[in-house]
Amino acid sequence: MTTDRAPTAEPAGASPASLGEVRLDVQDLVIRLGESGPDVVSDISFTVPAGEVLGLVGESGSGKTTVALALLGHARRGLSVTAGQVRLDGVDLLRLSPADLRAVRGARVTYVPQDPSAALNPALRIGTQLREALRVHPGAVDDVDGRVSEVLREVHLDASPAMLRRYPHQLSGGQQQRVALAMAFCCRPSLIVLDEPTTGLDVSTQRHVLDTVRSLCTSYGVAAVYVSHDLAVVGGLVAQVAVMYAGRIIEIGATGRVFPYPLHPYTRGLLAAVPSVDRAEVLSGIEGQPPGPGRRGRGCSFAARCGYALEDCRSQVPEPVHIEGRAVRAARAIRHPVRRAGRIVRRRRRRVRLRQDHACSLHRRPAFRLGR
Provide, rounded to whole angstroms, the least separation between the CB of residue 310 and ligand SF4. 6
Q: Considering the rule CB under 6 A, would residue 33 count as an interface residue with ligand ATP?
A: yes
CB 78 within 8 A of CB 259: no
- Residue 318 binding target from ligand ATP, ligand SF4, Mg ion, none, CB below 5 to 8 Å by type: ligand SF4
Q: Which residues pair with 46 in a beta bridge?
A: 26
- Binding residues for ligand SF4 (CB under 6 A): 265, 300, 302-303, 306, 308-309, 313, 318, 330-332
Q: Considering the rule CB under 5 A, would residue 176 count as an interface residue with Mg ion?
A: no
Per-residue binding letters, 40-79, with ligand ATP (x by CB under 6 A): x-----------------x-xxxxxxx---------xxxx
Provide, rounded to whole angstroms, the least separation between the CB of residue 305 and ligand SF4. 8
CB 58 within 8 A of CB 271: no
Q: Among 220, 226, 221, which Cα is nearest to 239's?
A: 226
- Residue 33 binding target from Mg ion, ligand ATP, ligand SF4, none, CB below 5 to 8 Å by type: ligand ATP
Q: Considering the rule CB under 5 A, would residue 198 count as an interface residue with Mg ion?
A: no
Closer CB to Mg ion, 65 or 255, in the complex: 65
Provide, rounded to whole angstroms, the least separation between the CB of residue 195 and ligand ATP. 7
Q: Considering the rule CB under 6 A, would residue 301 count as an interface residue with ligand ATP?
A: no
Alpha helices in the chain (DSSP H): 64-70, 98-104, 116-119, 126-135, 144-154, 161-164, 173-185, 203-220, 231-235, 255-258, 265-272, 341-346, 348-357
Residue-by-residue DSSP string for 184-210? HHTT--SEEEEESTTTTS-HHHHHHHH
Closer CB to ligand SF4, 16 or 297, in the complex: 297
Provide, rounded to whole angstroms, the least separation between the CB of residue 267 and ligand SF4. 10
Q: Considering the rule CB under 6 A, would residue 292 count as an interface residue with ligand ATP?
A: yes
Q: Among 42, 45, 62, 65, which residue sits at the site for Mg ion (rule: CB under 5 A)?
A: 65
Backbone angles phi, psi at 31, to 5 degrees: -125, 130
Q: Which residue is nearest to Mg ion (CB)?
A: 65
- Residue 291 binding target from ligand SF4, Mg ion, ligand ATP, none, CB below 5 to 8 Å by type: none
Q: Among 239, 241, 243, 326, which Cα is nearest to 51's?
A: 239
Closer CB to ligand SF4, 233 or 313, in the complex: 313
Closer CB to ligand SF4, 108 or 332, in the complex: 332
Please give the C-alpha separations between residue 162 and each of 126, 158, 167, 342, in angstroms, as whole numbers: 10, 9, 10, 58
Closer CB to Mg ion, 65 or 177, in the complex: 65
Provide, rounded to whole angstroms, the least separation between the CB of residue 275 and Mg ion. 22
Please give the C-alpha separations between residue 38 and each of 20, 158, 293, in angstroms, as whole numbers: 36, 48, 6
Provide, rounded to whole angstroms, the least separation between the CB of residue 65 and Mg ion. 3
Closer CB to Mg ion, 65 or 129, in the complex: 65
- The span from the CA of 249 to the CA of 64, in Å, is 10
Provide, rounded to whole angstroms, the least separation between the CB of residue 12 and Mg ion. 28
Please give the C-alpha separations between residue 87 and each of 3, 96, 248, 259, 354, in angstroms, as whole numbers: 14, 11, 19, 28, 38
Provide, rounded to whole angstroms, the least separation between the CB of residue 103 and ligand ATP. 25
Closer CB to ligand ATP, 50 or 180, in the complex: 180
CB 334 within 8 A of CB 263: yes
Provide, rounded to whole angstroms, the least separation between the CB of residue 196 and Mg ion. 6
Number of residues that bind ligand ATP (CB under 6 A): 17
Q: Among 49, 293, 299, 318, which residue sits at the site for ligand ATP (rule: CB under 6 A)?
A: 293
Handedness of CA 335, 341, 342, 348 (dihedral sign): positive
Residue at 65: amino acid letter: T
Q: Among 159, 163, 158, 155, which Cα is nearest to 182's?
A: 155
> 3-class DSSP state for residue 350?
helix
> 3-class DSSP state for residue 9?
coil
Interface with ligand ATP (CB under 6 A): 33, 40, 58, 60-66, 76-79, 229, 292-293
